[in-house]
């Protein structure tokens, strides 16, 4: 089995767990390739700590990879998605921090996760993405997002007006600080922090969620993800900020933005014993109420 490992810098206290992961893979006969910057970081902590079969820097070097392991938080997982893209390689997220919806394998669960990967009965789930199309080619070939598209003003002087259309029909003109178009996966990210609903990952929907709307009766709305959402932005300034997950570009008010479901999905390793309901209870502490005990 060929395993790719991707990661970012982590606390030195997580190093033993990272080394445990690599040793578990090697003991099972896996061929390990690791992202070169991540490899250099680990070597900087302990020059003799890790032995791998090779390194990689781009998606072109991921041929024949069976599982892609992301070590870090949800931000690291989102970067991993930009490497995997439409290659249909299952991603496993190992959490080196405190909170993660995408990187949901805790350090204490690494061994059990490896047992499952090498069990010969690997299952995975599909997560939908959104795609942004513009005549200006914003974001190039990275014009997709697993979590959300965010449109925001660039300064603190005034609101923006975002004219929003569903399949060509006007939905609303949002007077706000910005607008979020979120996937079900992204419903527990930025959208949640500005009052958006939580949507189950299997739902075929988008959330349209204004950021600090001027009119308090304007609320988030859930729409089917087979609709095209068209955005036209205007304001006192003529340039605004668009973000796809963690990637941002500045665009002019003359540019029309068209959002639709991406034509590929991301495969995520579906570990037994970890359900979405359980993740919500644990990560959002829904059960942390003394009335439950």
Active site residues: 74
Burial of 200 (C-beta count, 10 Å sphere; 0-12/13-18/19+)? exposed
Beta strands 160-166 and 169-176 are antiparallel
The Cα–Cα gap between 279 and 198 comes to: 12
Q: Which of 76, 80, 54 is nearest to 67 (CA)?
A: 80
Side-by-side strand order, sheet with 178-182: 221-224, 205-211, 178-182, 148-153, 239-244, 247-252
Do the beta carbons of residue 152 and residue 241 sit within 8 Å? yes
Do the beta carbons of residue 96 and residue 237 sit within 8 Å? no
**CA-atom Rg of the chain in angstroms:** 21
Q: Which of 230, 282, 233 is nearest to 258 (CA)?
A: 230
Do the beta carbons of residue 104 and residue 279 sit within 8 Å? yes
The Cα–Cα gap between 284 and 286 comes to: 5
For 113, phi then psi, to 5°, come to -65, -40
């Amino acid at each position: 089995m060929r395993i790719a490992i991707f990661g970012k810098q982590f606390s030195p206290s997580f190093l033993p767990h990272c080394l445990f992961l690599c040793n578990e893979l090697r003991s099972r006969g896996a061929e390990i390739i690791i992202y070169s910057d991540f490899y250099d970081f680990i070597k900087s902590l302990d020059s003799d700590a890790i032995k791998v079969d090779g390194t990689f820097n781009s998606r072109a070097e991921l041929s024949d990879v069976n599982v892609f392991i992301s070590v870090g938080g949800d931000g690291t997982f989102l970067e991993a998605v930009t490497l995997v893209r439409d290659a249909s390689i299952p991603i496993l997220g190992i959490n080196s921090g405190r909170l993660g919806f995408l990187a949901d394998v805790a350090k204490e669960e690494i061994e059990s996760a490896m047992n499952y990967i090498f069990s010969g009965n690997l299952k995975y789930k599909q997560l939908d993405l959104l795609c942004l199309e513009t005549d200006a080619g914003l974001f190039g070939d990275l014009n997709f997002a697993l979590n959300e598209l965010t449109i925001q003003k660039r300064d603190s002087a005034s609101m923006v007006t975002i004219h929003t259309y569903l399949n060509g029909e006007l939905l609303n003109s949002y007077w706000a600080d910005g607008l979020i178009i979120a996937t079900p996966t992204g419903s527990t990210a930025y959208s949640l922090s500005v009052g958006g609903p939580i949507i189950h990952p299997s739902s075929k929907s988008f959330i349209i969620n204004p950021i600090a709307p001027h009119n308090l009766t304007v609320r988030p709305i859930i729409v089917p993800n087979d609709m095209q959402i068209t955005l036209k932005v205007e304001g006192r300034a003529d340039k605004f900020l668009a973000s796809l997950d963690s990637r941002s570009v500045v665009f002019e008010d003359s540019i029309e933005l068209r959002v639709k479901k991406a034509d590929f999905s991301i495969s995520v390793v579906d570990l037994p014993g970890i359900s979405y309901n359980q993740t919500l209870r644990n990560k959002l502490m829904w059960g942390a109420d003394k009335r439950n005990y």
